[in-house]
Amino acid sequence: MSTFFASPTLQSLADAVNACFSQGDSVHLSIPRVSRDGPLDLSYAQQRLWFLAKFDPASDSYHVNRAFRLHGALDLASLQKALDSLYDRHESLRCAFPTVDGQAQLQILPFNDVLPFVILDVRHEQDQDFVLKQATLQEAVAPFDMERGPLVRARLIRLSEDQYVLLITMHHIITDGWSMGVMLRELNKLYNAYSSGLPNPLDPLPIQYPDYAAWQRQQLTQDTLRDQAEYWRKTLSGAPAFIELPTDRPRPPQQSFAGASVPIHFNTQLTSALKSTSHKHGVTMFMTTLAAWSAVLSRLSGQDDIVI
């Protein structure tokens, strides 16, 4: 981490990484491909999300939703084919997590033709904005079947002859923010190829997420996990269960996650000051703003121990 903070630019960080390689200070650990014939491991992150899903099956808190506006003539057959190719390419998109003897297992579903894809035509609706909003909300909250899968679905909403909205929803157990970006780039490449009469342009994947999950389990031995768990037990010992904020209504008995966001815009002068302060103390902008947010919560709650 000290090297990371001492290298504030991408070039300086790349130079530091190359220096480590040249000095033999780094060991490259390859991830081998594991057999698909037997039981497959969940990663620790997946195991956590599986537990949370079992704890509250009706919750949509871990649904990842994206909406993309499409303009111009759309080749529906090529879009469907591109989505199907992604579904076939990434095993994560075809994962289900059945429970066996009280424990989660990872099951890769066979590629049976198509990714769940629905087309909704609202060209003749008078209040398209309302219909679009309702459809987007329905997609976001519709439950997934963790046991059977699939845990991904797509819906195309047609607004006019050349205006569309593509909704893609996945459970967080099979994706994250970075993966969604990868998927969008690959979907774009596949669609451009298929709509031009060309074959799949993507190279086969040498490894998949189940291979990483098995590798992670091998790297994090029981001793390592025990030491890390003990560290966090000590660090979080005595931490408050809640931040007692002076809200205008009582805390509900069960957390609903039905919150909202309040955008805050930093002007150039304040942004420059935050960057300068972060650099001075050898921390990131995120750490600086998180410290400021902690100070605000402490002031409002009157507590000195803040857990975010």
DSSP string, the chain: -HHHHT--SHHHHHHHHHHHHHTT-------PPPPSSS-BPPPHHHHHHHHHHHHSTT--TTEEEEEEEEES---HHHHHHHHHHHHHH-GGGGEE--EETTEE-BEEPP--S---EEEEE-TT-S-HHHHHHHHHHHHHH----TTT---EEEEEEEEETTEEEEEEEEEGGG--HHHHHHHHHHHHHHHHHHHTT----PPPPS--HHHHHHHHHHHS-HHHHHHHHHHHHHHTTT--SS-----SSPPPSS-------------HHHHHHHHHHHHHHT--HHHHHHHHHHHHHHHHH--S----
Looking at residue 192, its pLDDT comes to 97
pLDDT of residue 222: 76
So what's the pLDDT on residue 18? 83
pLDDT of residue 138: 93
Per-residue pLDDT band for 24 (boundaries 50, 70, 90) equals low
pLDDT of 134 over the 70 cut: yes
**pLDDT mean across residues, the chain:** 90
In whole angstroms, what is the distance from residue 171 CA to residue 46 CA? 11
For the segment 7-31, the average pLDDT, to the nearest whole number, is: 76
The full set of domains in the chain, from first to last, is 1-29 (no CATH), 44-215 (3.30.559.10), 238-250+262-308 (no CATH)
> Is 26 a residue whose pLDDT tops 60?
no
Per the document, the length of the chain is 308
Give the C-alpha separation, 93 to 306, whole Å.
37
pLDDT at 189: 98
Q: With cut-offs at 50, 70 and 90, classify the pLDDT of residue 200.
A: very high
pLDDT band at 12 (very low <50, low <70, confident <90, very high): confident
- When pLDDT is cut at 50, 70 and 90, the band that residue 279 belongs to is confident
Give the residue carrying structure tokens 């205006």.
Answer: 163
**Non-local CB neighbours of 98 within 8 Å, separated by 6+ positions:** 104, 105, 107, 147, 148
* Least confident span in 20-34, 35-49, 180-194, 228-242: 20-34
DSSP states along 100-121: ETTEE-BEEPP--S---EEEEE
pLDDT at 147: 93
Looking at residue 20, what is its pLDDT?
A: 77
The answer to whether the CB of 284 falls within 8 A of the CB of 277 is no
How confident is the model over 58-106, as pLDDT tens digits?
889 899 999 999 999 999 999 999 999 999 999 999 999 999 998 999 9
Q: What is the pLDDT of residues 34-71, one digit of tens each?
A: 999 888 999 999 999 999 998 888 889 899 999 999 99
State mean pLDDT over 141-156. 93
pLDDT > 70: percent of the chain: 96
Q: Which H or E element spans position 154?
A: strand 152-160
The lowest-confidence range among 69-78, 109-118, 223-232 is 109-118
Retrieve residue 251's tokens.
């805390």
Choice between 89 and 7, residue whose per-residue pLDDT is larger: 89
Higher-confidence residue of 255 and 47: namely: 47
User: Closest by alpha carbon to 110, among 93, 126, 97?
Assistant: 93
Tokens for 72?
């111009």
Q: Above 90 in pLDDT, residue 208?
A: yes
The percent of residues above 90 in pLDDT, for the chain, comes to: 67
Q: State pTM to two decimals.
A: 0.81
| Nearest-angstrom CA–CA distance, 251 and 261 | 18
- pLDDT value of residue 301: 94
Q: Is the pLDDT of residue 25 over 70?
A: no
The DSSP bridge pattern shows strands 117-121 and 152-160 to be: parallel
